[in-house]
Amino acid sequence: MAKKKIDANSVQTKPSTRHAREGGHPDSSKKKLDSRLRGNDARSRTTPSRATSEDFACVKLLILDVDGVLTDGGVYYGADGEEMKRFHIPDGMGIVMLEKAGIPVAVMTTENSPRVASRVKQLGLRYYYPGVSRKGAHLTFILKATGVKAENVAYCADDINDVSALRQIGLPIAVANAMPEVVAVARYQTKASGGHGAVREVCNLILKAKGEDMVNLWER
């Protein structure tokens, strides 16, 4: 059996017996995905992942926060003082592919920003909820609008104003740069930070768990 390559950032200094067994079955994509979800990355040390590939396969709706998730949380200003936001292009492609696969993406934010509204429109998203101060209470409205049950929702967040909503859904997700309170309730923490590929990571995990071929999906 070929030796398994160890990530330099891994929490473990050598692969566990279970992981070694999984490394010996290259044709088992489910085992590989589950192994990845268990997460040995140093940024996941605060809480071991409790999510499985089945959890991601059950997702029928993805809810995203904006600042710190879709963006890096920074505020930028143009030469004329105009406020700007930085979005990650690969995140957008992941969102579009989820929509192509029939999995709606909703954006919920406390802000009411024309820059965010423009990005949501560009991505062709149907469910956009700006100016929401009590996200936990507003979740019921989103579930009714989408017709999706709470247990089939994944929610990607970074800060404490998302916690009340995260506690109500099936797959709460914290980005790598999330506050400890968010990480504490999360079942998965991304390797990537918000605004730097966290959303794409989540989209890929959902699509792979559902058995989607990325290239074929994009060409539809």
**pLDDT 10s digits, 2-48:** 444 444 444 343 344 444 434 444 455 555 555 555 443 434 444 54
* Sequential pLDDT tens for the chain (220 residues): 444 444 444 434 334 444 443 444 445 555 555 555 544 343 444 454 689 999 999 999 999 999 999 999 887 888 888 778 899 999 999 999 999 999 999 999 999 999 999 999 999 999 999 999 999 999 999 999 999 999 999 999 999 999 999 999 999 999 999 999 999 999 999 999 999 999 999 999 999 999 999 999 988 8
What pLDDT does residue 118 have?
Answer: 95
Domains delineated in the chain:
59-219 (3.40.50.1000)
Q: For strand 76-77 and strand 83-84, is the pairing parallel, antiparallel, or unpaired?
A: antiparallel
| Residue matched to tokens 């292009």 | 89
